Chain A
């Protein structure tokens, strides 16, 4: 019966139709109107306040660069047995353009695309592709071969073994795993599922890797040099040395500051540790109010609390604390999370800090920048360290845009599908510090679903997602030399 075909087809509708439908609660009209008006007013007031503080940022409009060419990407070849020979690396795209007249920022700006196909499922990060060599894959405790791309071909990386025993607070912890090094960074290729430790990803050097040792009463942060085995006890001699139930931590790039999350069955807290002085601060006490998430900068700690509304968007209250004087500066109160609302709502659409979640296993100390939209979906970047707000000229926010911050929180990848297609059609990278946006459109006509897979300082990786049982993978790596 043809109506059954139509019923099945409706089941294949793009997620965006269903997301809107699923998330839209039935709210009486009057309440919705008031909530919307309040959000718009709050955002206008917030922007207005920041403008009053600094005239300079009136001029600090984000420069905008648009690569106009569309990119048509290749699709996957026939699957075959895995080997370095039949994994395909193919430079497919080279698109270049000039900055818009008047910006004068870049001499050259380019995006180069590379196509990578692996005939089996792979894990990938920072240009290292891990291929499982066990019979049953995608389980914890799997062993992986690691490959990198060199001059258009795959090269296997030499595996190393690490096996050391450390004594912390009277407990002996064995840290044993296999790993490879690529461009100074470590990638783990085997970890025992019962290991008493875990490392965080996205760390710049294998010489000092933040690890969480699993002690009987919770996690404990240490730095480990993977080449020598030398371990640095980060909490030795501090008040935090015996804190129980720590489950998440992140360290600043210069290793002078640490944030930690403590959680038991009843409650959770965030802590800030100055590693140069050993001072430990419980953030709720430091701020004098509840802190749900934070972001570290060199001089400040940005904090926010979230008020949840079961039938509407959450609200943020945001402030920062000077790390020398511990003076608290209020920034915003009652700003809505517009990412949880319908398209015409104003509020914050990106705000992601250290909050006890693992952020894809990365060492993530939070982003000191937020992105907000007004009721016309014009974008604004808010520097939460200074309170300054800049208009994102030329970028109209698209509802349902997927966002991935870089691990240092200084860049933001935004992607979305277009016109109901399953492929990622739009990619934009916001460089908060350079005040630039790089955006371009692309197409994958293979009819497969895609998602943003990883984002590092200079590479956006888009990966095909095949519903069902196909386990091959296609990656499209876009090198963003223009974002610096």
Chain B
């Protein structure tokens, strides 16, 4: 079923909307959640919460692209869940490693919370991505948006893990310079 029709079902408050969402985007949302949450039951719970959130916020939202809309919700819910679980010392996620990597881009000495809102930072990262070649942008998003492992990215893009690491290293360096130039560091 096409996205527009599914969104229409949400607006009409027909519960079939959830079933159609599950059928079309369930695997996609689960793949995002599983990158962040190592235990399947946690990931599945995040995906179920995604459906509930979508039900609660469509309407008034009318997402233009239902897939990315749901993906964003899943990512946010899964990271929140990971933060709760990490307090209970449940490891195995790619998130801590990704966080360590991203720490290079904004050093601890800066205080972005006080200086900029996350939305502004997102816009800056977006502008930075616009400057990147397609392949670099793709690898960056797979790693830091979808939080995929280096190995998974390498297999998907048919590259060696070393090449993926090297691309990410180069991109992080550029991002750091870019954010410095924009006054974030």
Contacts and interface: CB of A to CB of B under 8 A. Distances in A.
Interface string A388-429: 000000000000001000000000000000001100000000
Nearest to A416: B64
Contacts of A13: 122, 125-126, 129, 141, 145
A21 interface: yes
A11 B145 contact: yes
A4 B122 contact: no
A17 B121 contact: no
A354 to B, nearest CB: 14
B127 interface: yes
A453 to B, nearest CB: 7
B84 interface: no
A70 interface: no
B121 A9 contact: yes
A30 interface: no
Contacts, number: 136
Contacts of A237: none
A163 interface: no
Contacts of A331: none
B64 A10 contact: no
B87 interface: no
Given A5-B121, A420-B123, A465-B62, A10 B107 contact: no
B103 A10 contact: no
Contact of A467 (B28, B61, B71, B108): B61
Interface stretch (A100-108, A317-325, A357-365, A377-385): A357-365
B144 A10 contact: yes
Interface in B126-159: 126-127, 129-130, 137-138, 141-142, 144-146, 156-158
Nearest to A449: B61
Contact of A6 (B13, B102, B129): B102
B100 to A, nearest CB: 7
Interface in B106-129: 106-108, 110-113, 118-119, 121-123, 125-127, 129
Contact of A21 (B2, B110, B141): B141
A10 B62 contact: no
B14 A21 contact: no
A465 B61 contact: yes
Contact of A18 (B13, B14, B102, B141): B141
A151 B79 CA distance: 50
Contacts of B103: 1-3
Given A6-B105, A22-B71, A138 B59 contact: yes
Chain A: interface size category: 35 or more
A3 B95 CA distance: 11
B71 A2 contact: no
B118 A8 contact: yes
A316 B141 CA distance: 32
A80 B3 CA distance: 34
A12 B118 contact: yes
B50 to A, nearest CB: 13
B57 interface: yes
A468 B53 CA distance: 9
A1 B108 contact: yes
A18 B71 contact: yes
Given A451-B62, A453-B62, A26 B157 contact: yes
A17 B129 contact: yes
A15 B101 CA distance: 24
Nearest to B104: A3
A5 B75 CA distance: 14
Given A17-B141, A21-B138, A2 B106 contact: yes
A169 interface: no
B126 A26 contact: no
Nearest to A25: B156
B48 to A, nearest CB: 19
A307 interface: no
Report which residue of B4, B60, B72, B119 has the largest number of chain A beta carbons within 10 angstroms of its beta carbon: B60
B8 A360 contact: yes
B99 A467 contact: no
A10 B72 CA distance: 10
Contacts of B138: 21, 24
A279 interface: no
B68 interface: yes
A122 B113 CA distance: 35
Contact of B122 (A2, A12, A465, A466): A12
B90 interface: no
A157 interface: no
A19 interface: yes
B177 interface: no
A14 interface: yes
Q: Which 3 A-B pairs have the closest CB atoms?
A: A9-B121, A12-B122, A3-B103
7 contacts: A9-B119, A13-B122, A14-B122, A15-B64, A15-B68, A24-B138, A121-B60
